[in-house]
Amino acid sequence: MWSCEGLTTKGLIDRKTMYVLGIETSCDETAASVVFAGREVLSNVVVSQIRDHARYGGVVPELASRKHSEVISMVLDTAMEESGIPLEKLAGIAVTRGPGLIGSLLVGIGAAKGIAMALDIPICGVNHVHGHLFAALLEYPSLRFPFVGLVVSGGHTSLYHVKGHHEIQLLGKTRDDAAGEAFDKVAKLLGLGYPGGPTIENRSMGINRIAEPFPQALIEKYNLDFSFSGLKTAVLRRVEKAFGRQYDRGRPGSFHRLVPEVVTEKDVSRINNIAAAFQDSITEVLTTKLFWAAETCGVDTVVVCGGVAVNGSLRRKVREQSRRSSLKAIFPSPGLCTDNAAMIAARGATLISSGMIDDLCFDARSRW
C-alpha cells in the first residue's frame, strides 16, 4: 500500500548499473530522458513551448502548465521508446521538484509519481539548479571536485562552490533579474522577439567594436552577487533616446517594444549596436565574477551552465580568461545547457544511489 510514510527501497542501487528516467517540466520545456549509469544518455526528448509563449513576449504560467499536460504522455512514451529499454528495467525516477512554476512542476511530478507507483521503484525530487550544475558531468566524466559553477539561465544567475555531489555552497546570486531574463526583456524593447538570448546574439554578430559601451554592474571588487536592473534601465533610456517613446504601448519605463514595426536600415544598425553593447556588458560581468569566485575558492576548474551558457560571446570571454589564468573552463553542449531531462536523470542517479529518495507525498517548490 502506498502512503506518505516513505517508499520502501530494495536496498541501495548501484549507480553504475542503473537506468533512471528523468522528467523536467519546471518552465516551458516538457522533457524526458533515460540515462544509464548516471552518464550515458539513451534518450533526451524536449518539447519546447517557445512558439506558444512568443506572442506574449514571455512565459505565461497558466498556458505553460496546460501545454505540459497536453504533451507529457507523448514525451514520456517517446523517451522510453528511443532509449530502447523496457519500463521494467528502470531502477528509479527523477523529477524536477523546483524551483519553477508550480502548475508546470506539478504536471511532471504527478506523472513521475504515477510511474514510480506502478513500477514500485524509488522516486526523487531534484533541484533544477543542481541539475544544470551537474549537466557537465554527463559529457566530462573526468570533471573533479571542487569546482566553481555559474548557473546562468532565464530564472537563475548564481555562483556555487561545488565541493562534492552533496556539498554545494552558494557564493552569490542575482539581486534582481536573472541574466536570461535581462536578455529577454531587452530583446522585447528592441522588438527582437522571445526568447531574447539567441536573437540578441544573432544581432550582435560581426560587431567587434562597441562604440558606446554600457557600464558594468560589478557592485564592488570580489562581491559575488549580481544586479542587472541598472543595465536594463540604461538600455531602456538609450532605446528611448534613439526611437522616442511614441511606440511604447506600456507604462513609462516598462519593458514593452519601443522600436517601430517597420524600421530603416539605419534603425537596424542602431538596434544591432545596442544589442551588441548590452551583450558585451552582461557577458563581461558574468566572466569577471566567475573568475573572482574561482580565485576566492582556490579551484582550478570553472563550469558554466544554463541557457545563457549557449552564448558565444560568454564562451569566448570565459575561454580567454581561463587561458590567461591557467584554469580549466567547461561548458556542457548547448542541448544540455538549456532545460532538459538528461541532467535531471543524471542528478537523480546520484541521489537515488546515495539513498536520497522521497516518499510519494513530496510537493513542488516554486523557490528552493
What residue ranges bind ligand KG4 (CB under 6 A)?
27, 153-155, 180, 183-184, 195-198, 201, 306-308, 310-311, 338-339
Q: Which is nearer to Zn ion, 29 or 280 (CB)?
A: 29
Name the minimum Å distance from CB 29 to Zn ion.
8
Quick check: 61 and 18 in contact, CB under 8 A?
Answer: no
Quick check: 294 and 148 in contact, CB under 8 A?
Answer: yes
C-alpha 123/C-alpha 21 separation (Å) is: 10
Name the minimum Å distance from CB 313 to ligand KG4.
8
E-strand ranges in the chain read 19-24, 29-36, 40-48, 92-98, 123-127, 147-152, 157-164, 167-173, 301-305, 328-330
Q: Which is nearer to ligand KG4, 183 or 292 (CB)?
A: 183
Q: Which is nearer to ligand KG4, 15 or 128 (CB)?
A: 128
Residue 316-355 contact track with Zn ion, rule CB under 5 A, x = bound? -----------------------x----------------
Residues 270-299: b if buried by 16+ CB within 10 A, e if exposed: bbbbbbbbbbbbbbbbbbebbbbbbeebeb
Q: Which is nearer to Zn ion, 153 or 199 (CB)?
A: 153
State the binding partner of 98 from Zn ion, ligand KG4, none, CB within 5 to 8 A by kind: none
Q: Any residues with CB less than 8 A from the CB of 117 and at least 6 apart, and which?
A: 2, 360
Q: Which is nearer to ligand KG4, 83 or 311 (CB)?
A: 311
Q: Which is nearer to Zn ion, 18 or 309 (CB)?
A: 309
Name the minimum Å distance from CB 294 to ligand KG4.
22
State the binding partner of 248 from ligand KG4, Zn ion, none, CB within 5 to 8 A by kind: none
Quick check: 194 and 57 in contact, CB under 8 A?
Answer: yes
One DSSP character per residue, 299-338 reads -SEEEEESGGGG-HHHHHHHHHHHHHHT-EEE---HHHHS
The neighbouring-strand residues paired with 329 are: 302
State the binding partner of 308 from ligand KG4, Zn ion, none, CB within 5 to 8 A by kind: ligand KG4
32 burial level (CB within 10 Å; 0-12, 13-18, 19+): buried
Nearest to 125 by CA among 357, 338, 333, 281: 357
CB neighbourhood size of 193 (10 A)? 16
Q: Which is nearer to ligand KG4, 92 or 197 (CB)?
A: 197
Angle, vertex CA 49, rays to CA 46 and CA 53, nearest 5: 160
Q: Which is nearer to Zn ion, 156 or 185 (CB)?
A: 156
Residue from 30, 33, 104, 153 in contact with Zn ion (CB under 5 A): 153
Q: Which is nearer to ligand KG4, 91 or 275 (CB)?
A: 275
Which range, of 150-158, 173-181, 202-210, 286-294, touches Zn ion by CB under 5 A?
A: 150-158
How many residues form the binding site for Zn ion (CB under 5 A)?
Answer: 2
State the binding partner of 129 from Zn ion, ligand KG4, none, CB within 5 to 8 A by kind: none
State the binding partner of 310 from ligand KG4, Zn ion, none, CB within 5 to 8 A by kind: ligand KG4
What one-character DSSP code corresponds to residue 249?
A: -
State the binding partner of 157 from ligand KG4, Zn ion, none, CB within 5 to 8 A by kind: none
State the binding partner of 338 from Zn ion, ligand KG4, none, CB within 5 to 8 A by kind: ligand KG4
State the binding partner of 125 from ligand KG4, Zn ion, none, CB within 5 to 8 A by kind: none
Long-range contacts of 58-64 (CB under 8 A, 24+ apart): 58/184, 58/188, 58/194, 59/27, 59/28, 59/101, 59/154, 61/101, 61/103, 61/104, 62/103, 64/27, 64/28, 64/101, 64/103, 64/104
Name the minimum Å distance from CB 155 to ligand KG4.
4
The answer to whether 29 contacts Zn ion (rule: CB under 5 A) is: no
Name the minimum Å distance from CB 128 to ligand KG4.
7
Name the minimum Å distance from CB 359 to Zn ion.
26
Q: Which residues sit at the interface with Zn ion, rule CB under 5 A? A: 153, 339
